Amino acid sequence: ASMGRTLVELFYDVISPYSWLGFEVLCRYQHIWNIDLRFRPAFLGGIMQQTGNKPPAMLPKRAEYMLKDIKRMAKYYQVPVHVSGDDFQRIFATSSLAAMRFVTAIDMTNPQYLEPLSREFWMRFWSQHEDISQPENILAVAQQAGLSAELSQKALTMISSPTVKDRLRETTAEAIKYGAFGMPAVVAHYDGEPHLFFGSDRLELLGSVIGEKWLGPVPS
């Protein structure tokens, strides 16, 4: 991190709606707070499996609550997440592995596209309710994010390479090492140590820990 700036890492997966909320708020704050924001695409499935966590929506009462919660959060955070009751089934039926490998490949080759690309994956899955697991969907997302056909094609071939698979595995392992058990996992490196914050509703607390002022989810 550059002089006096706090490095803040965001471990996220595009299958996670709360990750989208946290992502957008941190994007808004990256030029307001004295932070270096670093996007760390990781694999939520791997984190859940390795920590023995269960999808919260598997508990019917919690699924009911989450539906209302995400709707309220979407409105409050001004992020176009659109949820309905069958979305949890849709998450269970969708693997984000190929998408997150693709995002990882772009992070390794053309990181300037990381922010718009990640956003487009969320837009497609959570706003337009379309699939993100098939190669043609992934290419459509990339095109939407402004990547050239050539670049997208190259990244798509990279997703089956050991380099990309290893990088995603390593990033996921790193999140777990910091104590993550779900997503988003935000790690602030402050005062010589890492501070983990879980979820998109702890950013006010993050600000307090690193000595920054919270100005609401949509700071002007």
Question: Catalytic amino acids?
Answer: 16
Buried b / exposed e over 147-178, threshold 16 CB at 10 Å, is beeebbeebbebbeeeebeebbeebbebbbee
Angle value at C-alpha 194, between 2 and 22, nearest 5 degrees: 85
Q: Are 166 and 173 in contact (CB under 8 A)?
A: no
Q: How far apart are CA 14 and CA 201, in angstroms?
A: 17
Q: Residue type at 139?
A: L
Tokens for 152, please give them.
Answer: 């997208």
